[in-house]
Amino acid sequence: MLNGEEQLIKAAVGGDSSAFGSLYDHYQAMIYRFVVIKVGSREEAEDITHQVFLSAWQKVRTYKHRGHPFSSWLYRIARNQVIDHYRAKKGEVSIDKIDPELFATAERESDKLSQKFRLEDVRKAIMVLKVDYQDVIIMRFVEDISLKETAAILKKSEGAIKLIQHRAIKELKKALGDETTNEPF
Amino acid sequence: MRFPGLAVFGVIFGVVMVAMPFFFVGVAHADTTCALSPTDFAKIAAVQSDPSFTPTEEVIQELVVRKQLLSQTITCAQTEVSSLQSVLLAATTTYGTQNIQSQLLSDLDGASDFYTIEKSKLNNVGIAGSKEIASEILAWRAGTYTPLEGKINNYLLWTQDQSFFNTAQARMDETQNAVNFLESTSASQDLQNAFNTTYASFQSAKAQNAAAESALAQSLAPDQSLTLIKQSLDSLSSTYQGFFAVSDAIKALLPQP
Amino acid sequence: MNLFEAIQQFRTLSPDPGFTEKSKRMILASPQKAESSVGMRGVWIFLHTIETGAALALAGFFVLLATGSFSGNSYLAPVQYSVIDPGGLHAEADAIDMQIQLADISYAEVSSTAAESTAVMAGAGGSALSLVSGSVTSKGTGRGNDATTTASGAASSTLSVDQALQQLSQ
């Protein structure tokens, strides 16, 4: 959660655009990452991310702060936008049709190049999982979102999230042939 | 780590942690004091490499140590059996599952008898004979005892599950009453859909639970009945996701200030 | 690199700064919509003006149930508050999830024990410790006479019955 987030949200709900701008600065990259992993294209991810924040700005007056980070609400909007994207592009979307440079750049920037796990392959393996499993993997392991917040975003119990996480990792390992035995958390 | 001891104690641990707030199963936890120390087993090598023994003294000493250790090991194995018998006797049974419990207890008696017979052979064997007895017991455990422990573990897991099913059934009955009432005052497709999905999940769970009971009664291989038990729990978990959806649908019918 | 480290590499993905700046400017320059008539407040007003009777009766019923002011048999009280009680639902659901994890642990043990049994029956050589250390271990509480070896094979202070028998058979 952002420091002073509650005040920023209150101001944004009241129509303060610079307050919303601060929220945008803090959360835009994580929402973009969530979307780009799901859709595999930089251009489409930019469109969808823009739509998420536009939608959030337009609806922020109806937002009610209930103790969860603002990101929980943003993720819910993002999930719905991605689902709408798939519905609109039914038949065109394929996990193989990804931006070839997208993950190559990330791998070059990483100082832990691995022959074993290419990001492209990991993404493909994630994308064959059930939607909830994908979301838990991205939220828990890419963005380090807590169990509690993940449960709030997906409207499930923490126990259910733990189980989904366990199963998702198991399926991913099977798909990628990983032999490590312990989940990090 | 062998599956049986760990899984049975995992089951006991699970019963205490899971059942505490809602229902007490009352599983007895047998006190086991058997401890096989690696240091004791190292004595065999120590005797073999002790330069102060003559060849004959070495053989005699090694035989004494081996018999002592083997006797101790068999005693530990018999303690395992007693523990399992206690845990099994403490599990809640229904009319239909008493037969399963009786069969498992009888099989454990058989295991106890086997150990008694093997222990009695120790008096009249040399080093080679003691090694043979150890091998024989090891092979018997792998082929007979371990699968038996698997069946017992599965049975205990299944008996615990019945309390979850009873709770879920009570909740399903309440939910059905609620949905019937609400449908008569304000129709909601979301509510009806949520309820239908939940109901279907629960029917699957009950069918899989019955199949698991049948597998236990037929004494099928442990992995077969365990698969069915897991499936029934997964369906029960889906049922609860459905209860959440129904709860949300009911709340959505309430006007918010 | 293990799988988790690989997944974490996705953290290096970031939006183009040019896009970020343009998107933010466009969003903040756009007008916010007026409060939607389909919002919760709208539902309250709508229900009050159009179907006041049914909505109020329903709301009132739940208020009575929640405050405990209503009593009666199942005919008079067809809707139990427990149906929408999140605390109870969560507790029951969590208990089932824990039971599933217990069953999963048993499932893993069955798989590893099947592999061990095959090795024992085939007369695998080596010490008892190395035989057991190859299996999935070190979960949950163990009994006094069971070894708790870690995945890397480090032994604790006691041997299991099988480990002991393995040593005594050699």
In angstroms, what separates the C-alpha of B240 from chain A's closest C-alpha?
10
pLDDT interval class at A157 (50, 70, 90): confident
Q: What local confidence, expressed as pLDDT, does residue C122 receive?
A: 44
Let me know whether B22 and B148 are in one domain: yes
N residues, chain C: 170
Structure tokens at C109: 């043990």
pLDDT interval class at B92 (50, 70, 90): confident
- Top-confidence range, A55-59, B94-98, B134-138, B189-193: B134-138
Let me know whether B145 and B193 are in one domain: no
- Sort residue B27 into left (φ over 0), alpha (ψ -120 to 50) or beta: beta
Position A29 pLDDT exceeds 50: yes
Let me know whether B148 and B22 are in one domain: yes
Q: Count other C-beta atoms under 10 Å from residue A63's C-beta.
A: 14
pLDDT interval class at B144 (50, 70, 90): very high
Q: Which of B177, B223, B233 sits opposite C110 (nearest CB)?
A: B223
Higher pLDDT, A91 or A148: A148
Single-letter residue type at B34: C
Position C131 pLDDT exceeds 60: no
Rounded mean pLDDT, B139-147: 94
Rounded mean pLDDT, B233-247: 93
Higher pLDDT, A146 or A65: A146
Chain C interface includes B71 (CB < 8 A): no
Across the interface, do A49 and C104 touch by the CB < 8 Å criterion?
Answer: no
Q: What percent of chain B has pLDDT over 70?
A: 85
Q: Which of B157, B177, B211 is the last residue of a domain?
A: B157
Q: What local confidence, expressed as pLDDT, does residue A101 receive?
A: 62
Rounded Cα distance between A133 and A75, Å, is 15
Count of structural domains, chain B: 2
DSSP-assigned beta bridge partners for residue C159: B36
Position B192 pLDDT exceeds 50: yes
Which residue, A110, A150, A185, is CA-closest to C10? A110
Let me know whether B101 and B203 are in one domain: no
pLDDT interval class at B113 (50, 70, 90): very high
Tokens 């009766």 belong to residue: C57
> pTM of the predicted model, to two decimals?
0.50
Query: Which residue of chain A comes nearest to C137, CA vs CA?
Result: A181
Rounded mean pLDDT, C39-47: 36
User: How is chain A split into domains, by residue range?
Assistant: 5-176
Chains that touch A (3 or more CB pairs under 8 A): B, C
Let me know whether B141 and B174 are in one domain: no
Residue B165: C-alpha distances to residues B10, B233, B243, C92, C93 (Å): 21, 9, 14, 11, 12
Across the interface, do A155 and B237 touch by the CB < 8 Å criterion?
Answer: no
Position B30 pLDDT exceeds 70: no
Q: What local confidence, expressed as pLDDT, does residue C83 receive?
A: 74
Query: Which residue of chain B comes nearest to A155, CA vs CA?
Result: B244
pLDDT interval class at B178 (50, 70, 90): confident
Across the interface, do B137 and C84 touch by the CB < 8 Å criterion?
Answer: no
Q: What local confidence, expressed as pLDDT, does residue B25 receive?
A: 32
A39-72 pLDDT per residue, tens: 988 888 999 999 999 989 988 888 887 778 899 9
Rounded Cα distance between C145 and B193, Å, is 53
- B248 chain-A contacts, CB cut-off 8 A: 155
Mean pLDDT of chain B: 84
- C53 chain-B contacts, CB cut-off 8 A: none
pLDDT interval class at C1 (50, 70, 90): low
Q: What local confidence, expressed as pLDDT, does residue A2 receive?
A: 73
Element (H, E) at B80: helix B55-90
Chain C interface includes B3 (CB < 8 A): yes
Q: Is the ipTM of this complex over 0.90?
A: no
Rounded Cα distance between B203 and B134, Å, is 49
Q: What local confidence, expressed as pLDDT, does residue C132 receive?
A: 22
Position B7 pLDDT exceeds 60: no
* Alpha-carbon B173 to chain mean position: 30
Contact, B239 vs B198, CB < 8 A?
A: yes
Let me know whether B166 and B246 are in one domain: yes
Position B5 pLDDT exceeds 70: no
Q: What local confidence, expressed as pLDDT, does residue A97 receive?
A: 53
Residue B184: C-alpha distances to residues B149, B179, B181, B192, C59 (Å): 52, 9, 5, 12, 15
Let me know whether B99 and B118 are in one domain: yes
Position C136 pLDDT exceeds 50: no
Chain B stretch 169-228, residues whose beta carbon is closer than 8 A to a beta carbon of chain C: 171, 174-175, 177-178, 180-182, 185-186, 222-223, 226-227
Across the interface, do C3 and A122 touch by the CB < 8 Å criterion?
Answer: yes
- Sort residue B53 into left (φ over 0), alpha (ψ -120 to 50) or beta: beta
Position C41 pLDDT exceeds 90: no
Tell me phi and psi for residue C159, to 5 degrees: -100, 150
B57-89 pLDDT per residue, tens: 999 999 999 999 999 999 999 999 998 998 888
* Alpha-carbon B252 to chain mean position: 42
Higher pLDDT, A113 or B73: B73
- B13 chain-C contacts, CB cut-off 8 A: 140-141
Across the interface, do A53 and C27 touch by the CB < 8 Å criterion?
Answer: yes
Let me know whether B138 and B168 are in one domain: no
Q: What local confidence, expressed as pLDDT, does residue C31 receive?
A: 78
In angstroms, what separates the C-alpha of B20 from chain A's closest C-alpha?
17
CA angle B22, B91, B115 (to 5 degrees): 145
Let me know whether B16 and B90 are in one domain: yes
Higher pLDDT, A14 or C135: A14
Q: Which domain holds residue B183?
A: 162-253
Across the interface, do C82 and B174 touch by the CB < 8 Å criterion?
Answer: yes
C55-96 pLDDT per residue, tens: 444 545 554 444 444 443 333 345 666 777 777 888 888 889
Handedness of CA B98, B99, B101, B105 (dihedral sign): positive
Lowest mean pLDDT segment, chosen from B132-146, B175-189, C141-155: C141-155
In angstroms, what separates the C-alpha of A111 from chain B's closest C-alpha?
38
For chain C, how are helix, strand and coil distributed in percent, rounded to 5? 60, 0, 40
DSSP-assigned beta bridge partners for residue B36: C159
In angstroms, what separates the C-alpha of C41 from chain A's closest C-alpha?
10
pLDDT interval class at C52 (50, 70, 90): very low
Residues of chain A contacting B, Cβ within 8 Å: 155-157, 160, 163
Angle between helices B146-185 and B189-217 (to 10 degrees): 160
CB pairs A-B closer than 8 Å: 8
Rounded mean pLDDT, B118-141: 94
- A163 chain-B contacts, CB cut-off 8 A: 237
Which residue, B232, B20, B8, is CA-closest to C95? B20
Rounded Cα distance between B17 and C95, Å, is 9
Q: Which of B157, B185, B210 is the last residue of a domain?
A: B157
CATH architecture of the domain formed by A5-176:
Orthogonal Bundle (1.10)
Using CA atoms in the order A98, A99, A101, A105, what is the torsion angle rounded to 10 degrees? -80
Rounded Cα distance between B78 and B185, Å, is 65
Q: What local confidence, expressed as pLDDT, does residue A89 receive?
A: 67
Biggest CA pair distance of chain B: 97
Q: Which of B157, B189, B208 is the last residue of a domain?
A: B157
Q: What local confidence, expressed as pLDDT, does residue C124 receive?
A: 37
Burial category of B172 from C-beta neighbours within 10 Å (exposed 0-12, middle 13-18, buried 19 and up): buried
pLDDT interval class at C152 (50, 70, 90): very low
Q: What local confidence, expressed as pLDDT, does residue B125 receive?
A: 93
Rounded mean pLDDT, B95-102: 82
